[in-house]
Chain A
Amino acid sequence: MDGGLAILARLVETKGDALLTRWRELLLEAGASGGGRIKDAELQKQCREFLQALGTALNAGVDARGVAGPEFASARALLDEVSRSRAAQGFSPRETATFVFSLKGPLFEQLRDQFADDAVTVSNVGWEMSQLIDQLGLYTMEVFQRSREEVVRRQQEEIAELSTPVVKLWNGILALPLIGTLDSARTQVVMENLLQAIVDQSAELAIIDITGVPTVDTLVAQHLLKTIAAARLMGADCIISGIRPQIAQTMVHLGVELDVVSKATLADALALAFQRTGRTVVRKAAKG
């Protein structure tokens, strides 16, 4: 007698159309179209192509590596695409996994119809089929997870870019309003942005405002000091502003020392910057 997978292969080949119809019904029932995010035609195309790839793989014979083997390359590529596109479209893990797992039902139904009087074959082939689909399902979820992680990583990068603007306050006076925690990666971006801005605007003073930094521990302080040292090497002085009272207390308790001029508010820092560059701000006399 043929191995279970060979029987499966023949089943997929001969009953392809019936499988496809039933599979699609189940998918639609389970809401795998994601409320219209995937068009019916597209879903049908994905199903048909996957069945074909599965049939080819089963015909080629499955080795010990299971779905990781070379026979399943095209099936995996298809699942990659399906999983990635669903992750990008914001499908839930359940909706994505349903795509593969819902194939189990139709396959089993066909198997039962074909071997109605042979319970042993049904259970044996059914078991192999079930394991295969499970592996494919797990693979889909891995890809899905990876795609989501990629999205998160990209967003982190974008946030890091967005949240480190360098603002020109006056001729030669820059402000760097920091928002969020300073880690090594962000410090690098901040430093590069600041130094480039110093060159571009030939700035002589930079005010680093840390009102938006939630906590300042020894590591953050070290990152700040690095930034300040780099700016000094470029010939620009730095003033720190916006240290909140709680943070000031924490810093003292931790023994963190910032050996630079610091002011309570950005306004104070700007006033100091004006003073250092020999400027004064005067109020116009009120109109009489």
Chain B
Amino acid sequence: MDRIPILKLGSALLVSIQVDIHDQLARALEEDLSARIVATGARGVMIDISGLDVVDSFMGRMLDNIAAVSRLLDADTVVVGMRPAVAITLVELGLSLTGVKTALNVERGMALIGDGRYEALEDDRAAEGADDRDPG
């Protein structure tokens, strides 16, 4: 049976969902993930859904479930890389994933999971150049 890989990145776990999820796969993912959170002591879980074109209510519920399980194990869940069409669909379905944090991409998601919000990103930007400076 195929499984969704779970990668460890520092203190976070990264799950990248690229295929349609069915019941069995979802349950397997939940089991694997909770085991890995406990084993690694991860502080956050990032779920990358940038590869998904279509999201239905089942998928929305699965994300909510994963978030609830992770929260019990003291890890934040961040959904990253949602496409505009997917976001609109979820909102129209009435699923706004209230228990889940969101971020535009994996990089932002990492910053969110790390100790301070956006700090890592801001440092990067400051190093990049002077375009952040106030022109006035």
Asked if A pairs with B, the answer is: yes
Residues on A lying within 8 angstroms of B by beta carbon are: 171, 188, 191-192, 195-196, 198-199, 202-204, 226, 229-236, 277-279, 281-284
Docked-complex contact A278 and B104, CB < 8 angstroms:
no
Least CB separation from B111: chain A residue: A204
B83, B86, B88, B105 — most chain A CB neighbours (10 Å): B88
Docked-complex contact A233 and B87, CB < 8 angstroms:
yes
Contact of B84 among A196, A203, A229, A284 (CB under 8 A): A196
Docked-complex contact B87 and A202, CB < 8 angstroms:
no
Contact of A171 among B87, B97, B109, B132 (CB under 8 A): B132
A186, B45: Cα distance in complex, Å: 36
A68, B111: Cα distance in complex, Å: 69
Docked-complex contact B91 and A204, CB < 8 angstroms:
no
Docked-complex contact B84 and A192, CB < 8 angstroms:
yes
Residues on B lying within 8 angstroms of A by beta carbon are: 79-80, 82-84, 86-88, 90-92, 96-97, 102-105, 108-109, 118-119, 122, 125, 131-132, 134, 136
CB-defined contacts of A191 to chain B, threshold 8 Å: 88, 91
Known: A171-B132, A204-B118, A281-B136. A235 touches B108 (CB 8 A): yes
A275, B115: Cα distance in complex, Å: 18
Q: How far is the CB of B59 from chain A (nearest CB, A)?
A: 12
Docked-complex contact B91 and A233, CB < 8 angstroms:
yes
A192, A202, A235, A236 — most chain B CB neighbours (10 Å): A235
Q: How far is the CB of B10 from chain A (nearest CB, A)?
A: 19
A148, B102: Cα distance in complex, Å: 46
17 contacts between A and B (CB under 8 A): A191-B88, A192-B84, A192-B88, A195-B84, A195-B88, A196-B84, A199-B84, A202-B105, A230-B87, A230-B88, A230-B90, A232-B102, A235-B80, A235-B105, A236-B104, A281-B134, A281-B136
CB-defined contacts of B88 to chain A, threshold 8 Å: 188, 191-192, 195, 230
Q: How far is the CB of A138 from chain B (nearest CB, A)?
A: 43
Least CB separation from B83: chain A residue: A199
Known: A204-B104, A281-B136. A235 touches B82 (CB 8 A): yes
A203, B75: Cα distance in complex, Å: 25
Docked-complex contact B108 and A226, CB < 8 angstroms:
no
Since A191-B91, A204-B118, A236-B104 are in contact, a sample of 15 more A-B pairs with Cβ atoms closer than 8 Å, ordered by chain A residue number, is: A188-B88, A199-B104, A202-B105, A229-B91, A233-B82, A234-B82, A234-B104, A235-B103, A235-B105, A235-B109, A277-B118, A279-B132, A279-B134, A281-B136, A284-B136
Least CB separation from B105: chain A residue: A202
Docked-complex contact B118 and A235, CB < 8 angstroms:
no
A231, B91: Cα distance in complex, Å: 10
CB-defined contacts of B87 to chain A, threshold 8 Å: 195, 230-231, 233-234
The 9 A-B residue pairs with the shortest CB-CB distance, nearest first, are: A195-B84, A235-B103, A233-B87, A235-B104, A229-B96, A235-B102, A230-B87, A230-B91, A229-B91
Docked-complex contact B90 and A233, CB < 8 angstroms:
yes
CB-defined contacts of A199 to chain B, threshold 8 Å: 83-84, 104
Q: How far is the CB of B48 from chain A (nearest CB, A)?
A: 12
Least CB separation from A237: chain B residue: B102
Docked-complex contact A282 and B134, CB < 8 angstroms:
yes
A284, B133: Cα distance in complex, Å: 13
Q: How far is the CB of B85 from chain A (nearest CB, A)?
A: 8
Q: How far is the CB of B133 from chain A (nearest CB, A)?
A: 10
A196, B104: Cα distance in complex, Å: 11
A278, B122: Cα distance in complex, Å: 8
Q: How far is the CB of A142 from chain B (nearest CB, A)?
A: 37
A283, B125: Cα distance in complex, Å: 22
